[in-house]
C-alpha cells in the first residue's frame, strides 16, 4: 500500500488514516464502475464476500446512533441502543432477504427500498419520519409487544409464550403454523449476540 494505512499519534500508537491516494485507488476500483445500488452493496459487505450478513450493518447503525439528532436522547442508554440496532437490522433482513437465509445479495438490494431508506435517514432529522426500518416509534412498539409476549424474560418467544397471548386465544395449531412459517434466527455472532438472536427469533 503505497501511502501506508497507519500514522502515529503523540503517544506512539498507531492511528488508522486514509490518504487521498488510497481513497482514489479504492474509488477507481470499487465504486466508479458501478451504479448506486452496487456501490451500496459493496460498501456494506465484506471485501471477499458475495452477500451481506447481519454483522455487516452494525458499524453503520452504531454511527447512526452516535450522530443522528433524532437518536441523541439514547446517548446514555446503551441497552436501548443495542435493542434499537438489533431491531433495525432484523427489520431489514425480514423485508429485503425474502428467502430468509441470512444473506442479502446485490439483486435483493436492487429490488428493495433499502438504499432509499438509508439516503432518507441520512437527510431527515426526525427519525420517526423514516418509517422504513429506522423509526424509533416503530421500534418501541415492536419492543413493547415483544416484552408483553416474552413472559419469562429470556428474550425468546416460545410456543408456550405465544399460547398465552390474548388469554389463550390462539390454538395450538395456529401457534405451530406460526413457528413453522417463521424465518430462521440469525446465527449467534457479533457484539450483541444474545439479544440479537432473541430478537430475530421473536420476529
Give the pLDDT confidence of 74-123 residue by residue, as tens digits. 999 999 999 999 999 999 999 999 888 999 999 999 999 999 999 999 99
Asked whether the predicted pLDDT for residue 63 surpasses 90, the reply is yes
**DSSP assignment string, 134-196:** T-HHHHHHHHHHHHHH-TT-SS---HHHHHTTTTTTS-HHHHHHHHHHSPPPPPS-STTHHHH
Asked whether the predicted pLDDT for residue 9 surpasses 50, the reply is no
Cell of 23: 481513497
Sorting pLDDT into bands at 50, 70 and 90, what band is 191?
Answer: low
Tell me the average pLDDT across 19-40.
Answer: 94
> What average pLDDT is seen over the chain?
85
Tell me the average pLDDT across 163-174.
Answer: 91
Tell me the average pLDDT across 176-193.
Answer: 65
Which range, of 81-85, 125-129, 130-134, 195-199, averages the lowest pLDDT? 195-199
Q: Tell me which residue of 65, 103, 67 sits closest to 82, measured CA to CA.
A: 65
Sorting pLDDT into bands at 50, 70 and 90, what band is 154?
Answer: confident
SS3 129: helix
Angle of CA points 58, 89, 123, to nearest 5° = 80
Cell of 110: 436492487
Asked whether the predicted pLDDT for residue 14 surpasses 80, the reply is no
The burial of 156, by beta-carbon neighbours within 10 Å (0-12 exposed, 13-18 middle, 19 or more buried), is given as middle
Look at residue 189 in the predicted model and tell me its pLDDT. Answer: 46
Asked whether the predicted pLDDT for residue 10 surpasses 80, the reply is no
Amino acid at each position: 500500500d503505497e501511502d501506508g494505512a497507519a500514522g502515529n499519534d503523540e503517544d506512539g500508537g498507531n492511528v488508522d488514516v486514509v490518504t487521498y491516494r488510497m481513497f482514489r485507488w479504492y474509488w477507481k476500483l470499487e465504486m466508479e464502475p458501478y451504479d448506486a445500488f452496487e456501490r451500496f452493496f459493496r460498501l456494506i459487505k465484506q471485501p471477499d464476500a458475495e452477500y451481506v450478513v447481519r454483522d455487516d450493518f452494525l458499524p453503520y447503525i452504531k454511527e447512526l446512533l452516535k450522530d443522528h439528532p433524532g437518536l441523541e436522547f439514547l446517548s446514555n442508554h446503551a441497552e436501548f441502543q443495542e435493542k434499537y440496532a438489533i431491531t433495525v437490522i432484523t427489520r431489514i433482513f425480514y423485508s429485503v432477504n425474502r428467502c430468509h437465509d441470512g444473506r442479502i445479495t446485490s439483486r435483493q438490494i436492487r429490488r428493495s427500498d433499502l438504499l432509499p431508506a438509508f439516503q432518507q435517514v441520512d437527510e431527515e432529522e426526525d427519525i420517526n419520519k423514516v418509517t422504513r426500518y429506522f423509526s424509533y416509534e416503530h421500534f418501541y412498539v415492536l419492543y413493547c409487544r415483544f416484552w408483553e409476549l416474552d413472559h419469562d424474560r429470556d428474550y425468546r418467544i416460545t410456543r408456550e409464550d405465544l399460547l398465552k397471548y390474548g388469554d389463550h386465544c390462539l390454538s395450538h395449531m395456529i401457534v405451530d403454523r406460526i413457528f413453522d412459517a417463521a424465518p430462521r434466527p440469525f446465527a449467534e455472532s457479533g457484539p450483541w449476540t444474545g439479544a440479537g438472536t432473541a430478537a430475530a427469533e421473536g420476529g
